[in-house]
Chain A
């Protein structure tokens, strides 16, 4: 038998609401951020990590695996292009609503991610919440988020997105090797 004791049913004698610890931590923004609206989810990335935006119609090569949507050439560099769904899984084709590709650089690795639109963040300050324990996933490319227009927006970065892509099985190739790899693939 498991007797019901007072700790179980009475619970803790909780303090008044004013004494409770606040969950969110407000933090001022320092870098300029861009809001990447991917339809099913949204993230912020630092604007200075974005190389350029191109139309998703500019893909020049077919996918090399089920993890990417193809490649495109921009200023004589090749970028592998990825698309993520709500479950943060890699898609083998760009979502129909994703008309924009954001080209990013993570050290010497160039790649791009498709989205619905990219919006420059103009609000001078935003307050971010830490992701609560029951909503944490190692797949999420952020640990903090804010809420804008009734939608959660994760505070992410190119490095965090690269980590997610690798976790999902994507092969991110350093730029100096990529041209050779693509030529070899025919």
Chain B
């Protein structure tokens, strides 16, 4: 099943432009954010394949139309524990990002729930230093909503680096 994500919030006021962010639940209450237009599809994945010689967080991917989509388990990356599968299938957010060559590539993030579109105002912005160290290195912005801090993922950093390069940031 493929559901193209449609923007549902377009909150423009006279003085403040609210931006859209998708909130992605990645496991055990943790969530991250990506830009509204970076999330392209949600897919239920039953047939992921594994490549050898990789850390658990990045060893899986799946075929999607004519593409092979690398899929990241961010919970495993940050907490060193795997995200559990339910009935042999996983939800994945398929995102698009601009790679170092300026071309558009796809990647996926395994989810523990359905994403939620949130309207974010500039005054909700917080310094990256408020994030946990691991998220500072993987994010290029952050914002607060009520009591929750959300890292805004740097997708090029996550998907355009080899695992050894990414892990050397830590």
Chain A positions within 8 Å of B, measured between CB atoms, are 1-6, 8-15, 17, 20-24, 40-41, 84, 86-88, 129, 131-140, 145, 147, 150-152, 154
**Interface size in chain B (residues, C-beta < 8 A):** 57
The answer for the CA separation of A5 and B35 in the assembled complex, in Å, is: 11
- Which residues of chain A have C-beta atoms less than 8 A from B128's C-beta? 2
Additional 5 contacts, C-beta under 8 A, given A3-B122, A23-B68, A138-B164 = A8-B140, A84-B52, A134-B72, A137-B162, A152-B49
Q: B1 to nearest A CB, angstroms?
A: 16
Instruction: Report if A4-B122 is in contact (Cβ < 8 Å); known contacts: A10-B20, A11-B36, A133-B159.
Output: yes
Q: A133-B159, A134-B161 are in contact. Are A15 and B51 (CB under 8 A)?
A: no
In the complex, the answer to whether B19 meets A9 with C-beta atoms within 8 Å is yes
Contact partner of B143 among A4, A12, A134, A140, CB < 8 A?
A4
Contact of A4 among B19, B49, B98, B163 (CB under 8 A): B19
- Name the interface residues of B106-136: CB closer than 8 Å to any CB of A: 106-107, 120, 122, 124-128
Q: Which of A1, A9, A154 contacts B127 (CB 8 A)?
A: A1
Residues in chain B near residue A132, CB distance under 8 A: 61, 68, 70, 105, 107, 159
Residue of B nearest to A12 (CB): B98
Contacts of B49 in A (CB 8 A): 147, 150-152
Chain A residues with Cβ under 8 A from B38's Cβ? Answer: 11-12
List chain B residues, Cβ under 8 A from A3.
122, 125, 141
Compute how far the CA of A15 lies from the CA of B105 in the bound complex, rounded to whole angstroms.
Answer: 11
Residues of B within 8 A of A20 (CB): 96, 104, 106
A131 / chain B contacts, CB cutoff of 8 Å:
51
Also in contact, A11 and B34, with CB within 8 A (given A4-B152, A132-B159): yes
> How many Å from the CB of B161 to the closest CB on chain A?
6
- Complex formed: what's the CA distance from A138 to B164 in Å? 9
Q: Check if A137 sits within 8 Å of B19, measured CB to CB.
A: no
